[in-house]
Amino acid sequence: MEKLEQAEVSVVEQERLVTETNAEGMRLSNEAKAVVADETARSERLTRDRAALAGTVPAELLALYESLTARSDGAALLRARTCDGCHMVLSGTDLQVMRGAADDEIVNCPECGCILVRTNESGL
């Protein structure tokens, strides 16, 4: 009789664990679905933003950028004489070439090849 009571207590405990586990699984599943929905919405928003922005860039420059993204960041800020794409500090010779380039001329990082965006922080 005592073994039967122990078995019944064990069954109740196991049923409680199953119920708890199912509830936790449901909670985690709902949480995961919410994260996936948020990230899907974010991805769709970024895709729309990128398409809108890409529409403002000359086709030739956009094509160059997209071809460069196969092997680099595509474009990076030149900050303090350093490429933000590969973090290489440009040599004096490279910087001299960039100083001589027109403002609208495309210049590339000699290391990674990405288009370097020049600003007042470029150190030129």
User: Which amino acid is present at 35?
Assistant: V
Min dist. Cβ of residue 58 to Zn ion (A): 22
Q: Tell me how many residues contact Zn ion (CB under 5 A).
A: 6
One residue of 64, 86, 95, 124 binding Zn ion per CB under 5 A: 86
| Residue 111 contacts residue 86 (beta carbons within 8 Å) | yes
Classify burial at 65, counting beta carbons within 10 Å of its beta carbon; exposed 0-12, middle 13-18, buried 19 or more: middle
Nearest to 124 by CA among 82, 87, 85, 70: 82
Nearest residue (CB) to Zn ion, 62 versus 113:
113
| Residue 113 contacts residue 71 (beta carbons within 8 Å) | yes
Nearest residue (CB) to Zn ion, 48 versus 87:
87
One residue of 111, 117, 118, 124 binding Zn ion per CB under 5 A: 111
Nearest to 123 by CA among 106, 105, 98, 93: 98
Stretch that binds Zn ion, among 17-25, 42-50, 99-107, 111-119 (CB under 5 A): 111-119
85 binds Zn ion per the rule CB under 5 A:
yes
Min dist. Cβ of residue 20 to Zn ion (A): 53
Q: Which residues bind Zn ion (CB under 5 A)?
A: 83, 85-86, 109, 111-112
